Amino acid sequence: MAGRYNSKSSTTPPQLPPLRDDQAAIVTHPAQTKTIAMGRRWGKTYMAGVYALTVADYGGAVAWVVPIYKNARAPWRFAEQMIAPVAGRLRMNRTERVIEFPSGGRLSIYSADNDVALRGEAFDLVIVDEAAQVREETYTDVLMPTLADRDGRMVLISTPKGRNWFWREWLRGRSGEHGCASWTAPSAANPMPTIRRAAEMARERVSERTYRQEWLAEFIEDGGSVFRNIAANMVAPLDVTPEQHAGHHLVMGCDWGRENDFSTQCVGCVTCRQEVARDRFNQLDYHFQVGRITAMARRWGVVSILTELNSMGQVTFEMLQRQGLPVVGFTTTAQTKPPLIENMALAFERGEWAWQADNVWTAELEAYERTVSATTGRSSYSAPAGGHDDCVICRALMLWQATNYTPLLF
């Protein structure tokens, strides 16, 4: 690792922990551009940190780049911890997140969302952490030019996020292109027992698509439909009655609408793992909507209602509370919506619940889409332009409550 810089280390190698054999093979590989697609908790940040500190200690100028500013906390904590025994011999700027070594080397941590700070710099090594979440323009127009003066090396490390520019760079390394090399490994390649257990737990708790991408480090095609095996799951009886489910554990999901959108509600029997009742309506006054939902909830004897709080939801939530119903609120955000939808996608994949067939409700499931941001690499879920997702959200709320329900205490 040190051959390109000063012949003698100045401070850190005795304090740095060793790399695993697979990590050391990557770090010492001669390729100019290395693309490393690994599952979660494989040890990407650990490997990057050891590599970055070693090169800086031997006199190299190193940039460790993360997608956004708050992501810089973890690499900075790692660097501080590793150099603690010799910190008195180094110059550290915690505000700028820069460490300068007696050898003349330096390690600087940057965020890609503020790429102005990187322009005009020159580095021997650039490590891009979670590269798939960095904009392609930042990689091509800002980061690559910083290597020109010093004939530097680029290391791209990430969990896959669809088939974006990071995937294309990974393919270049796989193709044998001169100066490029690529690696991939699942999370379970980390020999730590806790990581392997976490990977096994994830297999049971997330959708197949999420597991393959996040834990097996596979490049999954962007976009496309969310729910599979829809027809095979539409087998719940339509003529079911509350008496047939007396004494069972029943929960309810509600999504609100008024004019263009629809209000929807559905009841599920956790005991039988099937949908037992649905309702869909619009252009009704709040009081009529609350009355309609109250009637369904009491008819079926539901033990918990999960209702969306967005938009008009807060008002109707409070009205349902005043009716004495066991209602719980759910705020849909960019962070809370993916787990909500993926929980139902997993249930459809595995055939864990039976749902009632209905042309409108089924059509929403079939049309529901997943898209991946080219900027952040994050998944988002929605109905296609001009479509509705009220039935999808309602069912997802019911299933979420069926999965996560805890009794309310009054």
Strand 106-111 to strand 98-100: parallel, antiparallel, or no bridges (unpaired)? antiparallel
- Note the pLDDT of residue 162: 78
pLDDT of residue 405: 74
Q: Residue with structure tokens 């393959």?
A: 212
Q: Could you give the 3-state DSSP secondary structure of residue 167?
A: helix
Q: What is the C-alpha separation between 269 and 302, in angstroms, rounded?
A: 9
The stretch 155-169 carries a mean pLDDT of 89
Instruction: Answer whether residue 243 shows pLDDT above 50.
Output: yes
Helices 44-57, 73-83: axis angle to 10 degrees equals 50
Q: Please tell me the pTM assigned to this model.
A: 0.59
Say which range, 136-150, 188-202, 228-242, 370-384, has the weakest mean pLDDT.
370-384
Q: Is 9 or 365 the better-scoring residue by pLDDT?
A: 365
Cβ(184)–Cβ(38) under 8 Å?
yes
To the nearest 10 degrees (0 to 180), the angle between helices 337-350 and 390-404 is: 80
Q: Is the pLDDT of residue 13 over 60?
A: no
What pLDDT is recorded for position 14? 38
Q: Is the pLDDT of residue 374 over 70?
A: no
In this model, does residue 222 exceed pLDDT 70? no
Whose CA is closest to 227, among 356, 352, 348, 393? Answer: 348
R_g over Cα of the chain: 26
Domain boundaries 230-404, corresponding CATH code = 3.30.420.240
Residue 130 has pLDDT above 70, yes or no: yes
pLDDT band with cut points at 50, 70 and 90 for residue 246 = very high
| Lookup: tokens for 138 | 């930042």
User: What is the C-alpha to C-alpha distance for residues 309 and 314, in angstroms, rounded to an integer?
Assistant: 5
Q: Where are the domains of the chain?
A: 13-214, 230-404
Asked if residues 106 and 138 have their Cβ atoms less than 8 Å apart, the reply is: no
pLDDT digits (tens, 9 = 90+) for 394-409: 999 999 999 987 655 4
What is the three-class DSSP state of 47? helix
What's the whole-number mean pLDDT along residues 224-241? 90
Name the pLDDT band for 161 (thresholds 50, 70, 90): confident
| Most confidently predicted of 121-135, 202-216, 246-260 | 121-135
Q: What is the pLDDT of residue 99?
A: 94
Give the mean model confidence (pLDDT) for residues 278-303: 88
- The label of the residue with tokens 């590599």 reads 51
What integer pLDDT is reported at residue 359 of this predicted model? Answer: 84
Same fold, 13-214 and 230-404: no
In this prediction, residues 213-230 reach a mean pLDDT of: 81
pLDDT band at 147 (very low <50, low <70, confident <90, very high): very high
Average pLDDT, the chain: 87
Per-residue confidence (pLDDT) for residue 379, from 0 to 100:
77
How far is C-alpha 142 from the chain's CA centre? 26
- 368 vs 260, more confident: 368
Maximum Cα–Cα distance for the chain, whole Å? 82
Residue 383, pLDDT score: 85
Tokens 């759910």 appear where?
330
Which of 19-33, 53-67, 365-379 shows the lowest mean pLDDT across its residues? 365-379
User: 65-79, 249-263, 327-341: which has the highest mean pLDDT?
Assistant: 327-341
- Angle, helices 359-367 vs 390-404, to 10°: value is 90
- CATH class, range 13-214: alpha beta
Distance CA 147, CA 150 (A): 6
Q: What is the pLDDT of residue 180?
A: 92
DSSP string, 244-278: GGTTS-EEEEEE--SSSS-EEEEEEETTTTEEEEE
Q: What is the DSSP string of 285-350?
A: -HHHHHHHHHHHHHHHT-SEEEEE-TTTHHHHHHHHHHTT--EEEE---TTTHHHHHHHHHHHHHH
Q: Which long-range contacts (CB under 8 A, 24 or more apart) does 337-342 make?
A: 337/380, 337/381, 338/378, 338/379, 338/380, 338/381, 340/393, 340/396, 340/397, 340/400, 341/226, 341/368, 341/381, 341/392, 341/396, 342/206, 342/207, 342/210
